Amino acid sequence: MSSQPGYFAADAEADDELARLQIQATVHDPTTFRHFETIGVTEGWRCLEVGAGAGSVARWLAERVGPTGKVVAADIDPKYLDNLTGPTVEARRSDITRDDVERDSYDLVHSRLLLIHVTDPVDVLQRMTAAVCPGGWLVAEEPDNSVCGPVDRSHPLAEAWARYNQGFGECLAAAGVMDMRFGGILPARVESLGLVEMGTEGIARIFHGGDADSHMVIQAMQHIDGILLANGVLTESEIADARRAFEDPTFLYREALMQSVWGRKLPNG
């Protein structure tokens, strides 16, 4: 396996990557915001959004915490965060794996679809937790692809889809590009951080080929298929068959579970 460290879409065309991030946000934001409601995000909170992407979560937080709060939207490449403006919002270029983050400073530290992309997600979780103030919350949300699968295994494209999905997951994890299983172990990793009032929820959605979510996958495939081919995991024709499944509205599949986990730092620290 070749080693390909770094964010897999770092060299993507800016417009394509923005469109992909926006679809991701449309799918996952309502659940994320519901979790924020559950833990009680409110006016005056100081929030850190790590791996902020296109900024939709930071924007929601800024509105919620209002003029007395603060939101830092941090990303290794904050190119889509230019329009996050206002006296209480800061778009910050920051690599969470190495740059300093203020300790004990935030009422909420959140990340989504970030830990699967880093080499040492436990270290990143610890760094994020260190930034939470006493009594504050950590919320982390990551996918677990162990539940993925065709809804109808007798569909003519089911086998091609399943082969791609398995090859994709195993190859990218082995190559250090992304670990789509990390959401499965995330609750245990958060539990070991010593947080209290922990909560968990996992959602696995059903997508159709041809819908917006499948287009997001097809866009991501552009960055990934070269790795699958180079490592001999799949052939061009197997990749083409999988793409047909992602384009076919009669094909339904269960996407990766999105595992959300939250916990609170003890008020006395």
Return the residues of window 64-93 that contact ligand SAM according to CB under 6 A.
Answer: 75-77
Taking CB under 6 A as the binding criterion, the range among 19-27, 101-109, 192-200, 204-212 that sits at the site for ligand SAM is 19-27
Q: Pairing relation of β-strands 149-150 and 89-93?
A: unpaired
Give the residue from 2, 53, 4, 1 showing the smallest Cα distance to 28. 53
Q: DSSP readout, 103-172?
A: TT-EEEEEEES-GGGSS-HHHHHHHHHHHEEEEEEEEEEEEEGGG-EESSTTSTTHHHHHHHHHHHHHHH
Piece of 18-26, 161-169, 179-187, 190-198 that binds ligand SAM (CB under 6 A): 18-26
Q: Which of residues 203-242 bind ligand SAM (CB under 6 A)?
A: none
Q: Is 243 in the site for ligand SAM (CB under 6 A)?
A: no
Residue from 114, 125, 175, 234 in contact with ligand SAM (CB under 6 A): 114
- 181 binding ligand SAM? (CB under 6 A): no
Q: 10 near 75, Cβ under 8 Å?
A: no
Interaction between residue 190 and ligand SAM (CB under 6 A): no
Cβ pair 84, 58 in contact under 8 A: yes
Total binding residues toward ligand SAM, as defined by CB under 6 A: 19
Question: Any bridge partners for residue 108, and if so which?
Answer: 47, 137
Q: Which of 31, 38, 97, 219 binds ligand SAM (CB under 6 A)?
A: 97
Binding site for ligand SAM (CB under 6 A): 7, 21, 24-25, 28, 50-51, 53, 75-77, 95-97, 112-114, 117-118
